[in-house]
Every structure is written in C-alpha cells, then in structure tokens.
Amino acid sequence: MSAQQTITKLLHEQPLAVLATYGQGQPYASLVAFACGAALDLLVFATLRATRKFANLQANPRVALFVDDRTAPDGGQTSALTVLGKTSEAMGQQRDALAGLLLARHPDLQAFLQNPDCAIVQVQAERFVLASGIERVVTLDAPFLKP
C-alpha cells in the first residue's frame, strides 16, 4: 500500500486523534473525535471554549494530530500518522458545514455540537509524517490528493 493510501485509510477509518497543543510553557495532549475533508488537507474537531486546549489554540494555533491503527484487528504492521498544521475556529456558514461533516462521522456528538460554547476547530494540514513499522518514515506536503 502506498503512503497516500495508508494516510487516506487512517484518516477515514480511525475516529479519534491525539491533539498536541502548546501553552503556558508546556505541551498538552488531548483526545479528540475528528473528521476530514475530501482532500484530507482539512481536519475538524469540536471543543468547548473554556478548555485548556482551546486556550492553547488561541495562544498558538500550530498543532500536531496523531492518528494510528495500533488496535487494528488484522494484526498487521502498525502505522502512525502525524498531521502538522494550523488551526482556526470556524464561524458562520463554514461552522455549520464543518459541524455537519463532524456530525456525519460522529452522530453521538449532536448535543455537544449544539452547545453555544462549543467551538468547531479546523486544522489546515500542511504536512503528513507517516511511520510504518520501525524504519519507514515518509513525509508528504499537503494537499497530496485532489478532491
């Protein structure tokens, strides 16, 4: 399987990612439910504005999202993907569209997304770093797919 195919598979099959932010002089990791756009260069998640992760994003919008398949039932080789990018809060019609994208993948988030304090955060992917096994690491700049 090519690196592009593996990245596509990870982003479409894995529902959760570890979000790495930075604030108050230290890194911070959070588990987030995410969805991605057709070209895979836009990822989206939701958070409450009163969280540490949101405060960190306001102070420094640069993030890493980590997605892996270590619990894959086939017992094959584990792949780990780091998506590097920059965040912004979606507003207005864009917020509605991205909330819909997130809701389509995570219908259990409906009440959470309707909370007026819920922010829809978009990550504009800039680079993908895919590690497969111990020695194979591939770096691809975004976007590498055409929608």
Domain spanning 3-141, CATH architecture: Roll (2.30)
Provide the pLDDT for residue 66: 98
- Beta carbons of 86 and 62 less than 8 angstroms apart: yes
Provide the pLDDT for residue 117: 97
What does the mean pLDDT of the chain come to?
A: 91
- Beta carbons of 98 and 90 less than 8 angstroms apart: yes
- Beta carbons of 133 and 117 less than 8 angstroms apart: no
pTM for this prediction: 0.90
Partners of residue 67 on adjacent β-strands? 81
Provide the pLDDT for residue 113: 96
Identify the segments of the chain with pLDDT beneath 50. 147
